[in-house]
Chain A
Amino acid sequence: MKKNQKKLAIKIKNVTKTYVLRHEKPTLIESLLYRPKKGIHTALKDISFSVYEGERLGIIGSNGSGKTTLLKLIAGITKQQKGDIKVNGRVVSLIDLSAGFHPDLTGEENIFLNGLVIGMTRREIEEKKQSIIDFADIGKFIDAPLYTYSGGMELRLGFAIAVHSNPDVLLVDEGFAVGDENFREKAHKKILEFKRQKKTLVMVSHWISELERNCNKFLWLERGEIVKFGGKEVLKKY
């Protein structure tokens, strides 16, 4: 029994997520005239597992096994059709770092916008603004509109905002650490810092070695179902 004072971070109970398959986009006119036939794709089928605070979960599985869907559900970006998901604390995903920036607004204005989108309050952003600017290392560009930024700068800003939001649960999709060598190292250090702070981490990757280094719990998904869930032994079977 896993009840030694550990607090639940994520509880997934009998979760099923389905998508309506569309070969063509439906139109209102069609739907009113006749009922177009719909195919249903089940991305996750009756999944249950729990993650405790401070655990670092690595999710493996082949393409289309439901890994990203699971991350999206934990992040609250979409919702399951059946079952329950409970997440304690603030979840921040490093899925698409440069998403949600407005090209015509300045770096500073975008920090406020993006910070609020991922759940920070205005006061929090005000307090951490300088530290975000320093971490992203964008210097005097902070007052320039975002369309003048290079791809790398946008990415750094996105990452800086995400890690400064003080998440309780951090979601990492594969290939998040893009950018130059210098920034990759910085990003990696930040992940290590989260590890030390005993934050909960959920990571999706194809790279077994990356998961082995960062995680201590593993979930193997295949065709929307759990093949195995547990410690290092899962990786050996994979």
Chain B
Amino acid sequence: MLSYFSKYWFDFVWVMTLKEIKARYKRVFLGFIWAILNPIFQMLAIGFIFQFFIPVKIDNYFYFLFAGLLPWNFFSYTFSKCTPLMLNERSLIQKAKFPREALVLSIVFSNLFHFLISLFLFTVLTIFVGYLSLFKLFILFLAILWLVFFTIGISFLLSTLFVRYRDIKFIVQAIIPLWFYATPIIYTRALLPEWVATILKFNPMTGIIELFQFVFISGNSIINLEAVVPGILISLTIVLIGIYLFKRDNQYFDDWL
């Protein structure tokens, strides 16, 4: 079992990830700057509009937005790109036998690379503006781990289902904005009626985003775990289903492409 993850396997995932990173900016002026500019523009747009609507009781609203938008963007870009992945890479799949999971992992890791750059800059900023303790950095590390784990699971699940059911792509496109508003990114759960706040606990992204907000927003010194426990259980279920289906089906992908 362990021998499956050979040096070749790691090399393969590594080269595929590099390919993703390189190909993305190959013919784009300013290259990496876009990875940082994107969330900044998004933050400015949302922040500008929503401060008129929501009776925002959140200090430093723009700053608060950024803490949630960064992980959300990584998550939503990754799984929406992974959904039609097997169809986009059919020429590779029909060429040879190779570890197919590398296709999904290379998308996750290349997006993770961009996410970590932005996150690093944001962290440096926070050190100057707010305060970051070692404990918070440790929580940040755990939050990233959980986020990556969940993103991998859902990407395996959706890319596998898409091979057979092509309408998954449209379902995903419809769900992304809904999921965005069902996650406390532009608001906090404290602003919601009790029963809505309770339902949102079962969205794994709630727990993840709240951990990020805990890390970056000074003033929060008490960590709120009530969305973390159900979130971890639900992510674990989705990850296991995703990996199981991918393992069962990936050798038959060619039959459906």
Contact = CB atoms under 8 A, between A and B. Distances in A.
Given A100-B95, A119-B98, A77 B254 contact: yes
Interface string A83-101: 0000000011101100110
A74 to B, nearest CB: 10
Given A105-B19, A109-B22, A145-B26, A27 B91 contact: no
Contacts of B59: none
Contact of A26 (B8, B22, B165, B253): B165
Contacts of A72: 254
A104 interface: yes
B91 A109 contact: no
Given A25-B166, A77-B97, A105-B23, A96 B91 contact: yes
A27 B166 contact: yes
A122 B97 contact: no
The dominant DSSP class at the B interface is helix
B168 interface: yes
A105 B26 contact: yes
B16 interface: yes
Nearest to A19: B255
A28 interface: yes
A86 to B, nearest CB: 14
Given A26-B164, A27-B166, A28-B171, A109 B19 contact: yes
Nearest to B165: A28
Contact of B92 (A91, A99, A105): A99
Contacts of B16: 113, 116
Interface residues of A, number: 34
Contacts of A79: 251-252
A198 to B, nearest CB: 23
B194 interface: no
Given A27-B166, A77-B254, A104-B23, A118 B95 contact: yes
Interface string B16-35: 10010011001100000000
Contacts of A26: 164-165
B226 interface: no
A58 to B, nearest CB: 22
A100 B7 contact: no
A88 to B, nearest CB: 14
A25 B168 CA distance: 12
Interface in B145-198: 161, 164-168, 171
A229 interface: no
B19 A119 contact: no
B15 A121 contact: no
Interface in A57-113: 72, 75-79, 91-93, 95-96, 99-100, 102, 104-105, 109, 112-113
B145 to A, nearest CB: 27
Contacts of B11: 116, 121-122
Nearest to A145: B26
Interface string A149-171: 00000000000000000000000
12 contacts: A19-B255, A31-B165, A75-B96, A77-B97, A78-B255, A91-B97, A100-B91, A105-B19, A105-B22, A116-B8, A116-B16, A117-B95
